[in-house]
Structure 1
Amino acid sequence: MKMKTKNHVWHFLWGLLALVGFCFVSCKDDDEGGEQPFDPSKPVVISDFTPKEGGMGSRLVLYGDNFGNNPDRMKVTIGGQIAKVIGVNNNSLYCFVPPKAYDGDIEIALLDENGEEIAYGEAEERFSYIKRVMVTTLVGETYENNTKFDILDGPWGSCGGLEKMEWMVFDPNNKDMLYVCGGAKTHRVVNFAEETLGTIKFTGEASGDCNILSFTNDGQLIVVRNRTKDGQKGLFFFSPESNFTTQVKALDARGCRAAIPHPVNGEIYTSRYDKGWIGRYNPKDGSYKMDEIQLPYGSLDIYLVIHPTGNYMYIILRNKHVIYRADYDWNKETFKTPYLACGKYQTEGCVDGVGNAVRLKQPQQGCFVKNEKYIGREDEYDFYFVDKQNHCVRVMDPYGRVTMYAGRPNGNADKGFNDGDLRKEARFNYPASIVWDEKRGCLLVGDSDNHRIRKIALEE
């Protein structure tokens, strides 16, 4: 007899009661000398199951008859994918929903000692599989317990790992090409059209320790070098016509961590470590004011991310564990005085909230992603950013509220590597960069010490 439920709350309560009952019966049967074994003279019947819908990892209880008592002699599939069986007591069975169980067919096969099928049953009703947003691995491989990796060019799956991923950016003229800044290590290029991983090298003054790679609005590649003295060239512009081999311009830039274009007006905003300055370079007339905005501190790792509308930018002070905001003055074509967005200056931690109640630990790159629930409002974007030493991805909504998005499963601060559910399973190891892949509709995370680019998207 099928047991019907009227809403999701009853689905949950019935599943909980069934699980408690299952455990009680199992213990009772154990005390009485074992559960009822499979009877080959009777059919295997699935009469009902609960809950009726869910995603990967959901707990599922099947009801019926003649399931037997040996989970090792049982194969359960949901949507053609093998489910992990936790326990069975002949009339009920407890398992986990596997990933990609899209079709929802529920089937049980009883096996003999050789693994051959001796009995079979299936449910009349289908399980409704709900896709979830998951963390997976896009590209990158390691070996020997995640301690070693090779640096190879080639197809995904045989290209080794990525050394470092301090900043990532898509070519504005070719959204199939993702450029990955390796800091003092190798710079890589991810080709989505060909599904390959390559290497890009720079010569002359542009070679060496690099803080970020960026692009102008018209597609020139900007190499941001780490220079420690005044008068040294630190910003190098390469033409797209030469496949970024011909340098067309170079600018002085001491201690620079940013070269971010305004998406509408095209001016380039830079930063200076020792002075705490944010500069403004105007490619239209060649003017460059290095101290356009002066923060009240020095010795700052300043990273910049400008809103897609150009209305404001976030100023990320990585080594001070705080993010500021500066609004754009459209009349003067520059940004106004910054003010606090989240975090507390020189105070590290991991706390969600608003404003100075938030605690961060080395935030670095961030990106804006349009959220449909804000459509029609003044600001339609969430801001996702990597919280590097907290080994996670955080998100700040348009109202300034910061919450945990991915990583630190169940609040655990340990670093590691694991794909899966955003908050229950996924682990990162010093994620340093993040970018929104608009063409494919997913977030990409440069998981530096796991030497992989991770992907956050709805299950495929």
Structure 2
Amino acid sequence: MEKKNRIKPISWPIQVIIILLTTLCFIQCKEDSDKQTIGFDPSKQVVITDFYPKEGGVGSKLILYGENFGNDISKTKVVIGGKVAKVVGVQNNSVYCVIPEKAYAGDIRVSILDDEGKELVNVETKERFEYTKKLLVSTFLGKYYEVGSNFEEKEGPFNDCGAFKGMLWFSFDPKNSNHLYFSADYNSARLIDFEKQYVSYFRTGFDRVSVLNWRLDANQDMIVSHNQSSDTRYGNYLFSRESKFIQNNPIPVYARGVNGTIIHPQNGELYYSRFRAGDIRRYDFATGEDKLAFPNPYSAVAIYMVVHPSGDYAYLIQYDRHFIMRTDYDYARKTFTTPYTIAGAAGSSGYADGVGTNARLNNPVQGVFVKNPDYEQNGGDQYDFYFCDKENHAIRRMTPQGRISTFAGRGNNGTSGYADGDLRTEARFKQPQAIAYDEAKECFYIGDTGNWIIRKIAKEEEEEAVETTN
């Protein structure tokens, strides 16, 4: 006869223990539930005993601990540093809220309201919250047009200067930090005057301007690259400072399809890329000699170039092939040497943070070196490289070791758009191409080319008066 498996009965002492534990658990859960549902009692004081964390920036979560907060979000108001915080949860002994923007003062006040929204009672913490300013994306200059056909191009003051098509390359005047110039390919180049707060045309007389650069001599005349398509025409011109950048003379070398130029910051020679020839050439102002510096691995490619402040190396940004190469400088021979890949993979567009060839880019354009104070104690290269990753609609950052991360953009869903705010969770760009960094103001300016406006990345400013909350 087949034996059936039987479950052994639980012994009596164990049954008693299980019943007791179950009862205790039920009682405890009921007590906790009662605590959570208790409403505000006007006969008792509202008390704040503590809060956590003690510091943070806009968007951070804050928990206030205490007594008699009630349980109605609509009747609980939290003000931090003079700014109303969003309350996301209330229990009788705790309040959950989100740190508002520009809560600089750090004082925390909780108010309980009646059905009409009038304040019944308020209480303030003895300790202040330490507000940490965050980097945010904002709209700096130009008008955003939701309907593209309404686009208007014009000169004018900052609050009425239209919009800007085709922004390609930003360049600060090395002798006047209040002047920021930008080229715009087939479109109008401009001068942004921060002192006068005025935007004017920068008239070159060329049909297509790629990049702007500056000589190293005492005058520091401007170098304007004319991206033209003839092998018997000049590609680079000197616009004299003495003429206020009106008069120009060609650098006497024929050059077709110039997309990138750099000036060595120590020795002053000019390097420029040629699109169809697929090479980098070196021009010596002192001798007038023009020669090949090195060939590029690919021809028919737009190569933008940015030199390190030390002059020790430069980055070649291979726009059409979606990767970045590095070329090191030979001080003995006074020339840059054969480049090698530092980030991305040639011909493989995409989006991925990572190191070296594991990273993926999609039409990178202008970049800028920015000193990183965190590197000072370790010695070595002190600069990170920030660049516009056009078709990823983002600003990327590269360390000296070639580690790529996303600094700003891609919004909440990784697509293009137009939105200000937190660098990663809120901000969106559309095909950014141009970038400049103002060391004195510690801020970035971004040519948000697809949106026809200039964006700014900077820490929150305390220029506005604290809002009243009464």
Q: What's the TM-score once normalised by structure 1's chain length?
A: 0.86
Distance 2:357 2:269 in 1: 31
1:269 has 2:268 as partner: no
Q: Cα offset for 1:239?
A: 0.8
- Residue 432 of structure 2 corresponds to 431
Q: For the Cα contact (< 8 Å) 1:318–1:362, is it kept in 2?
A: yes
- Map 1:208-223 onto structure 2 (within 5 A): 208-217=207-216, 218-223=219-224
- Map 1:398-413 onto structure 2 (within 5 A): 398-409=400-411, 412-413=413-414
Q: Cα offset for 1:359?
A: 1.3
Q: Cα offset for 1:35?
A: 4.6
Distance 1:372 1:378 in 2: 12
Q: For the Cα contact (< 8 Å) 2:183–2:212, is it kept in 1?
A: yes
Name the Cα RMSD after superposition: 2.5
Q: Which deviations, in whole Å up to 9, do the C-alpha atoms of 1:370-391 show, x marking residues without a partner?
A: 1223226232211111111111
- Map 1:279-298 onto structure 2 (within 5 A): 279-289=281-291, 291-298=292-299
- Residue 325 of structure 1 corresponds to 326
Distance 1:73 1:281 in 2: 72
- Residue 238 of structure 2 corresponds to 237
Aligned letter for 2:329?
A: Y
Q: Which deviations, in whole Å up to 9, do the C-alpha atoms of 1:94-125 show, x marking residues without a partner?
A: 21001121211001234455554343221122
Aligned letter for 1:208?
A: D
Q: Which deviations, in whole Å up to 9, do the C-alpha atoms of 1:384-404 show, x marking residues without a partner?
A: 111111111111211222222
In the superposition, relative to structure 1, how do residues 28 and 201 fare at CA in structure 2: closer, same or farther (>3 Å)? farther
Aligned letter for 1:107?
A: R
Distance 2:243 2:434 in 1: 27
- Residue 99 of structure 1 corresponds to 101
The alignment-based identity, stated in percent, is: 44
- Residue 166 of structure 2 corresponds to 164
Report SS of the residue matched to 2:235. Answer: strand
Q: Which deviations, in whole Å up to 9, do the C-alpha atoms of 1:209-261 show, x marking residues without a partner?
A: 22122222242122212211211222221111211111133443201102211
Aligned letter for 1:189?
A: L
The 10-residue stretch of structure 1 (441-450 or 60-69) with the greater mean CA deviation from structure 2: 60-69
Q: Cα offset for 1:148?
A: 5.1
1:342 has 2:343 as partner: yes
- Map 1:45-444 onto structure 2 (within 5 A): 45-112=47-114, 115-144=117-146, 149-203=151-205, 207-217=206-216, 218-251=219-252, 252-289=254-291, 291-375=292-376, 377-409=379-411, 412-444=413-445
Aligned letter for 2:277?
A: K
Q: Cα offset for 1:28?
A: 5.4
Report SS of the residue matched to 1:332. Answer: coil
Distance 2:191 2:123 in 1: 50
Aligned letter for 2:124?
A: E
Report SS of the residue matched to 1:320. Answer: coil
In the superposition, relative to structure 1, how do residues 116 and 195 fare at CA in structure 2: closer, same or farther (>3 Å)? farther
Aligned letter for 1:318?
A: Y
Q: For the Cα contact (< 8 Å) 1:166–1:212, is it kept in 2?
A: yes
Q: What's the TM-score once normalised by structure 2's chain length?
A: 0.84
Larger Rg: 2
Q: For the Cα contact (< 8 Å) 2:293–2:337, is it kept in 1?
A: no
Distance 1:37 1:150 in 2: 57
Aligned letter for 1:82?
A: V
The 10-residue stretch of structure 1 (368-377 or 144-153) with the greater mean CA deviation from structure 2: 144-153
Q: For the Cα contact (< 8 Å) 1:385–1:434, is it kept in 2?
A: yes
Aligned letter for 1:75?
A: K
Distance 2:45 2:418 in 1: 44
Aligned letter for 2:207?
A: G
Q: Cα offset for 1:266?
A: 0.9
Could you tell me which runs of 5 or more consecutive residues in structure 2 were left unpaired when the two chains were aligned: 1-28, 462-470
Q: For the Cα contact (< 8 Å) 2:234–2:250, is it kept in 1?
A: no
Q: Which deviations, in whole Å up to 9, do the C-alpha atoms of 1:377-436 show, x marking residues without a partner?
A: 2322111111111111111211222222222246x4211122222222222111101122
Q: Cα offset for 1:51?
A: 1.8
The 10-residue stretch of structure 1 (127-136 or 389-398) with the greater mean CA deviation from structure 2: 127-136
Distance 2:114 2:212 in 1: 59
The 10-residue stretch of structure 1 (115-124 or 428-437) with the greater mean CA deviation from structure 2: 115-124
